[in-house]
Amino acid sequence: MTTSKISPHNHKRCIDSAMSNAEQLCAQRGLRLTPIRRKVFELIWESHQAVKAYDLLERIRPFEMSAKPPTVYRALEFLLDLGVIHRVESLNAFIGCIDSGRTHEQLLLICTECQQVTECSAPEVMGALAAEIRMQGFSARQKSIEIHGTCRTCAQNADTKDTLPS
Q: What is the pLDDT of residues 29-40, one digit of tens each?
A: 999 999 999 999
**Are residues 73 and 143 both part of a single domain?**
no
**Are residues 69 and 117 both part of a single domain?**
no
**Are residues 92 and 157 both part of a single domain?**
no
Q: What is the pairing mode between strands 85-88 and 93-96?
A: antiparallel
pLDDT mean over 51-68: 90
Q: Does residue 116 form part of some domain?
A: yes
**Are residues 164 and 88 both part of a single domain?**
no
pLDDT at 1 over 60: no
Instruction: Identify the domain containing residue 124 by its residue range.
Output: 105-166
| Mean pLDDT of all residues belonging to the chain | 87
Annotated binding site: 111, 114, 151, 154
> With pLDDT > 70 as the criterion, what percentage of the chain qualifies?
87
pLDDT at 5: 45
**Are residues 91 and 137 both part of a single domain?**
no
pLDDT at 16 over 60: yes
Q: First-to-last CA distance in the chain? A: 32
Instruction: Give residue-wise pLDDT tens across range 114-157.
Output: 999 999 888 899 889 999 999 999 998 888 899 999 999 999 88
Please report the sign of the dihedral spanned by the C-alpha atoms of residue 144, residue 13, residue 77, residue 27.
negative
**Are residues 69 and 118 both part of a single domain?**
no
Indicate which CATH number applies to the domain containing 120.
3.30.1490.190
pLDDT at 2: 39
Q: Does residue 5 form part of some domain?
A: no
**Are residues 15 and 95 both part of a single domain?**
yes
Alpha carbons 65 and 50: distance in angstroms, whole number: 23
* CB-CB contact of 79 with 91 (8 Å): no
Reported pTM: 0.82
Annotated binding site for Zn(2+): 111, 114, 151, 154
Residues 6+ apart with CB under 8 A from 72: 40, 53, 54, 56, 57, 60
pLDDT mean over 89-116: 87
